[in-house]
Amino acid sequence: MRTAEPIPRRRVLIIDDNRAIHEDFIKILCPGNSPSESLEKMEELLFGSVAPAPRGPEFEIDSAYQGREGLERVQEAVAEGHPYSVAFVDVRMPPGWDGVETTARIWEVDPELQIVLCTAYSNYSWDDMLVHLGVSDRLVILKKPFDNIEVQQLANALSEKWMLGRKLGGQMANLAAMVAERTRDLETANAGLLQANQQLAEATQSARELAAVATVANEAKGEFLANMSHEIRTPMNAVIGMTELLLETPLDDQQRDLMEVVRGSGKLLLTLLDDILDFSRIEAGKLSFEEHDYDLRQVVETTLELLAPRADAKGLELVGVVPVGISTHLRGDAGRLRQVLMNLVTNAIKFTDAGEVVVEVRVLSESADEVWLRFDVRDTGIGIDPSVQARLFQAFTQADGSTTRRYGGSGLGLAIAKRLVSLMQGDIGLESSPGSGSTFHFTCRQSRQRLDEIPPATPPESFEGLRILVVDDNRSVRESLCSALAACRATVRGVTDGREAMETLTAAATAGSPYTDVLVDLTMPVMSGLELAQAIKADPGIASVRITLLAPIGKRYQGDPTGREGIDATVMKPVKWRHLCESLGPASRLARSPVPSARLASTPLGFPARILLAEDNLVNQRLARAQLRKLGYEPVIVSDGQEAVRALESDRFDVVLMDGQMPIMGGIEATQEIRRLERQGLSVGSDRRPVHIIAVTASALRGDREKFMSAGMNDYISKPVQLGELREALVRWCEGRDRPVE
């Protein structure tokens, strides 16, 4: 049978001058020492075990016969760490302290001790006791003579209360210790936080100071870059421009080779300068994007047109594929889009020695507000090893050291392209293997133009009823032209050479469904485009077909005034869709002109204009005069903006070529003054129109164009000025003259 766990003994102190009282308390609280207890043991021996009576806690009784002695016992117990739980104290204990005084003194030593004052009669009333001892839950009055059960219950209850109080006190002490420890931890943590906050404040202040220093440094860097760009472009304008003019004069082979090297090196230096400027802006976080309307097809075609001479010089076919019918009236930063295309196509041309470079545009998805585009730039060049493809878009990275030595370049172009594509919310990547060419591709998001902002469209191109034969040995060119013409309802077929073309034309004429038009590549093996045209015109059965010559931009066909070659129109490669449509349209069909468009030939533009040139650099004055004379114009030259304003006040000009930085009065200030005079009613331009001002400046950083345009200029050309760019700017002015005067 499982026995109950023993209850700890509880110490009780009896303070009474009557020894009999002590014996009574022992009998009541320690019955095991009484005769009745001995009798119970004897009964158990004689008659067997009997059911044990319930037992309460065991007490350890100590006695004191005077108040002073009781105080000493309490002091000893406290000192031993085994204090009393309850003290029964007689009130009257002559000749020493009475029970009230004894209690007061004991509580000074052990304030937790439970006191039972035992009295038959007293000189103290209850109120007197409260005055001396105060109100306390540790004080109980027991009247004599007392009942045994009453004593037993008081001892049990008060000792249990004392023990619970001790436990609670211990727990409170532990809790207080825990709280104190936690408080110390919190104080330590707070001290650490205060220190950390102080360090953070100091670091923040230091960061602000560093940011301010960095801002000043970036501004100084930007100003330095702008000045260096201007200073480098100014002499480069003369180097490249004069070289181009010299190349158009009679030179022997050695002289021409040397000048080609000079021109190529100058253009390479210009490309490096642009890359460094762009990379510096990216590093400084100054790269910005703009939102303006543009035509996607025009961006692709003009980009390829600029790069066509490089491709033609290497004998490469440069092809642009923008499907008919896709959204081309878009809104975004056309300049940045063109920059990515320029980087990718330039690289493709650089690393391709034979074959072609194809730029293809596709619409991935579109909605009423935006269009997601994918551009693929595909070449037949040297390819790229997979081991270097992952780091190819990092700054200053090329495929290998030999590539750098053989092909040149800064290695910044692809890093810049990647950053620009990222800012257009797209991705860039490539597929390539050594010896099998490369395809670089990127995506971007562009907004649609609002319907009410889209310029009035020309009548939709429809070539229904036309039967067109495309003759080109390059498959990409042939397929792109056939696809575009078929989308415009023409009946179209492609063949690869002159022999197949003659057979196809003859068979169609014999069958009663002759071709109406032939698009003929100028440069084909075995039979050239001109030879094919002569053969067609020499055959009466097919001579009536209309022939459009597709001529590479480096091999401009000037036409035969006698018409013996039978060329009805010429379109330069890479083919611009608008030019092709014009050559096939009704107006061209009636004109039957044997000469190409004036804008595509390096001959005078064919329309009169009075041109004022404002330029302070003497070398650049000579260059601009020579370039304008090449285009058929004799400019009036002034050396600063103030002279330009005076010239316009005294004479009439159609176009002003305005340098940006000039002494006395710069180009922006001069333009603002000219526009002010026009607003006041002074007609400074010819035929009552505002004069057309073109910025011609070496300030070519991002935002410079907008700065000049917001000042009131109409167009912008950056130095070094190339003849083709100057020609195109004058053509844009000429086209704008057809608009009515406001």
Calculate the average pLDDT of the chain.
81
More confident residue, 409 or 674: 674
Q: Could you tell me the pLDDT band of residue 283, with boundaries at 50, 70 and 90?
A: low
Q: What is the mean pLDDT of residues 718-737?
A: 81
As a whole number of angstroms, the distance between CA 596 and CA 374 comes to: 34
Could you give the 3-state DSSP secondary structure of residue 354?
coil
Distances (CA, A) of 384 to 122, 202, 399, 433, 577: 117, 50, 7, 5, 33
Q: Give the range with max mean pLDDT: 101-110, 211-220, 246-255.
A: 101-110
Contact 319, 303 (CB under 8 A): no
Cα angle value 491/495/501 (rounded, 5°)? 95
pLDDT tens, residue by residue, 545-574: 999 999 887 665 555 544 556 788 888 888
Residue 740: pLDDT band by 50, 70, 90 thresholds? very low
DSSP H or E stretch at residue 727? helix 723-736
pLDDT at residue 403 tops 80: no
Strands across the sheet with 715-718, in order? 636-638, 611-614, 655-658, 692-697, 715-718
Instruction: Answer yes or no: is pLDDT of 24 > 80.
Output: yes
Would you state the pLDDT for residue 457? 45
pLDDT tens, position by position, 579-611: 888 888 754 443 433 333 333 333 455 577 889
Interval 398-425 mean pLDDT: 66
Cα 86 to Cα 29: distance, rounded to the nearest angstrom: 12
Q: Kindly tell me the burial class for residue 265, based on how many C-beta atoms sit within 10 Å of its own C-beta (0-12, 13-18, 19 or more).
A: middle
pLDDT digit string, tens, across residues 518-529: 999 998 988 999
Distance between CA atoms of residues 379 and 390, nearest Å: 19
**304 in the Ramachandran plot: left (φ > 0), alpha (ψ -120 to 50) or beta?**
alpha
pLDDT of residue 400: 46
Query: Is 269 a residue whose pLDDT tops 60?
Result: yes
For residue 476, pLDDT over 80 is answered with: yes
3-state SS string for 659-721: CCCCCCCCHHHHHHHHHHHHHCCCCCEHHHCCCEEEEEECCCCCCHHHHHHHCCCCEEEECCC
Residue 643 in this model has a pLDDT that exceeds 80: yes
- Buried b vs exposed e over 297-308: b needs ≥16 C-beta within 10 Å? bbbbbbbbbbbb
Task: Count CB atoms within 10 A of the CB of residue 706.
Answer: 13
Q: Of 182-191, 401-410, 625-634, which range is least confident?
A: 401-410
In what helix (H) or strand (E) does residue 494 lie, and over which residues does it extend? strand 491-495
What does the pLDDT read at residue 262?
Answer: 76
Residue 379 pairs in a beta bridge with: 357
> What is the distance between the alpha carbons of residues 726 and 703, in angstroms, rounded to a whole number?
21
What stretch of H or E contains 339? helix 334-350
pLDDT of residue 545: 93
Over 90: is that where the pLDDT of 677 sits? no
For the ranges 64-73, 277-286, 333-342, 445-454, the one whose mean pLDDT is highest: 64-73
**Mean pLDDT to the nearest integer, 64-85:** 94
- CA-to-CA distance for 178 and 165, rounded, in angstroms? 19
Provide the pLDDT for residue 435: 85
Can you tell me the distance from the alpha carbon of 224 to that of 725, in angstroms, rounded to the nearest whole number?
Answer: 27
Q: Name, of 62-76, 261-275, 638-652, the range with top average pLDDT.
A: 62-76
Q: In the sheet that 569-573 helps form, which strands lie side by side, from edge to edge?
A: 491-495, 467-471, 517-521, 546-552, 569-573
Q: For residue 552, what pLDDT is reported?
A: 85
Contact 634, 662 (CB under 8 A): no
**What's the pTM value of the predicted model, to 2 decimals?**
0.54
The pLDDT of residue 596: 35
Burial class (CB in 10 A: 0-12, 13-18, 19+), 233: buried
pLDDT classification of 3: cutoffs 50, 70, 90: very low
SS3 320: strand
Q: Which pLDDT score is estimated for 405? A: 43
Once rounded to an integer, what is the mean pLDDT over residues 659-684?
84
Tokens, residue 428: 């860039």
DSSP-derived 3-state class of residue 296: helix
Closest to 416 measured CA to CA, from 354, 353, 340: 340
Position 630 pLDDT exceeds 60: yes
Work out the average pLDDT over 631-655.
Answer: 89
**485 Cβ contact list (under 8 Å, min separation 6):** 463, 468, 470, 492
> What CA–CA distance (Å, rounded) separates 117 from 124?
11
Q: What's the CA gap between 103 and 113, in Å, rounded?
A: 10
Averaged pLDDT, 254-277 = 71
- Tell me, what's the pLDDT at 282? 64
What are the residues whose beta carbons fall under 8 Å from the beta carbon of 48, sequence distance 6 or more?
none
Give the DSSP letter string of 383-451.
Answer: ---HHHHTTTTSTT--S-HHHHHHH---S-HHHHHHHHHHHTT--EEEEE-TTS-EEEEEEEEEEEPPT
* pLDDT given for residue 702 in this prediction: 57
**Residue 292: beta bridge partners?**
332
pLDDT band at 455 (very low <50, low <70, confident <90, very high): low
Q: What is the dihedral of CA 606, 611, 615, 618, to 10 degrees?
A: 60
pLDDT over 90 at 739, yes or no: no
pLDDT at 28 over 80: yes
Structure tokens of 698?
């070496």
- Bridge-based pairing state of the strands 139-143 and 317-321: unpaired
Q: What is the spatial distance between Cα 345 and Cα 620, in angstroms, rounded to a whole number? A: 31
For 376, residues 6+ apart whose C-beta sits below 8 A from its C-beta are: 358, 359, 360, 362, 439, 440, 441
What pLDDT, on the 0 to 100 scale, is given for residue 627?
87
Q: Which residues contact 655 (CB under 8 A, 6 or more apart)?
A: 609, 610, 611, 612, 691, 692, 693, 694, 730, 733
Give the residue from 705, 700, 725, 713 showing the smallest Cα distance to 644. 713
Do β-strands 370-379 and 438-448 pair in parallel, antiparallel, or remain unpaired? Answer: antiparallel
